[in-house]
Amino acid sequence: MRPEMDSNRAYWDEATEFHARGNVYGIEDFKGGSCRLHRVEVEEVGDVHGKSLLHLQCHFGIDTLSWARRGARVTGVDYSAKAIALGRALSAELGIAAEFVQSDIYELRDTLAGAARFDIVYASYGVLNWLPDLTGWAQVIAHFLRPGGFFYIAEAHPTARMFPLDQDLAKVGAFRPFISYFHDPAGIAWPPEPDYADESALHQVGPHEWQHSLADIVGALIGAGLVIEWLHEFPYCSWKVVAGCEIVERFSEAHAYYARPASEPQLPLMFSIRARKP
């Protein structure tokens, strides 16, 4: 594993500790029966009853368990030991059947060697920026899909990632692009910062992220032998992905879509892709 990936794993160990506290990540809502999935992925993935679903970069699996509640046979994968431990604990406490596997995504073919293929491979929201290499990522997806199965992702749009967040606006000076749209193999090392879900919690480890263009993402999936069924773009996202966002659709107290004000020109803030294995 690259040193940056080791550092990021430590970052997500910290994040898991923050997100396990109270209802900061919606755990108490979930225990009360709420679904943690958003409208778009529920509509676009469709009926999962009886289907096998592999959730990549699942964090502590609250979305994984939400798919299980909708009838899927789920396996969640994450490289954070603390996240996987919390996912297993929630599964046991709530009686929701799920398998959780600790693994770096690039090593998953060895970790799950000989495992059955899946009907659906799924990823969502804030995952691609933690990956230095999309070619290897797409090959893992293709490997674990059964013929006729599909991959689905809903994610922040690469264009949105060029623009500052609310906390970056003062140092950038204006709402304008401040990182490149295109991939830099070295990535970007950020200083330690408050947690994205709990601003009162300060990380001791700074994240290291990589930008990927839409062409990078689509090209990697096609290169792995998958057939793109569709690509959708949206003027909103499931978090305040750029500065100045406001709620445009709410699902629960901590569960909504956010967009730039309607009076301003709209940016693509989120995209989704479905790609099938022939």
pLDDT(253) > 70:
no
- Assign 58 a pLDDT band (cuts: 50, 70, 90): very high
CATH number for domain 3-276, candidates 3.40.50.150, 3.40.50.2300, 3.20.20.80, 3.30.1490.20: 3.40.50.150
Query: What's the mean pLDDT when you consider all of the chain?
Result: 95
Q: What is the mean pLDDT of residues 248-268?
A: 89
Q: What is the mean pLDDT of residues 137-147?
A: 98
Q: What is the mean pLDDT of residues 170-198?
A: 94
Q: What is the mean pLDDT of residues 24-31?
A: 91
Amino acid 251: pLDDT:
78
Share of the chain above pLDDT 90, in %: 89
pLDDT(43) > 70:
yes
Name the least confident of 41-55, 208-222, 253-267: 253-267
Amino acid 156: pLDDT:
98
Amino acid 34: pLDDT:
87
- Assign 2 a pLDDT band (cuts: 50, 70, 90): confident
Q: What is the mean pLDDT of residues 20-37?
A: 91
Q: Would you kindly state where each structural domain of the chain is located, as residue ranges?
A: 3-276
Q: What is the mean pLDDT of residues 174-180?
A: 95
pLDDT(252) > 90:
no
Amino acid 115: pLDDT:
74
What is the tens place of the pLDDT at every residue in 70-106?
999 999 999 999 999 999 999 999 999 999 999 999 9
Amino acid 1: pLDDT:
62
pLDDT(197) > 70:
yes
HEC sequence for the chain:
CCHHHHHHHHHHHHHHHHHCCCCCCCHHHHHCCCCCCCHHHHHHHCCCCCCEEEECCCCCCHHHHHHHHCCCEEEEEECCHHHHHHHHHHHHHHCCCCEEEECCHHHHHHHCCCCCCEEEEEEECCCHHHCCCHHHHHHHHHHHEEEEEEEEEEEECCCHHHCCCHHHHHHHCCCCCCCCCCCCCCCEECCCCECCCCCCCECCCCCEECCCCHHHHHHHHHHCCCEEEEEEEECEECCCCCCCCEEEEEEECCEEEEECCCCCCCCCCEEEEEEECC
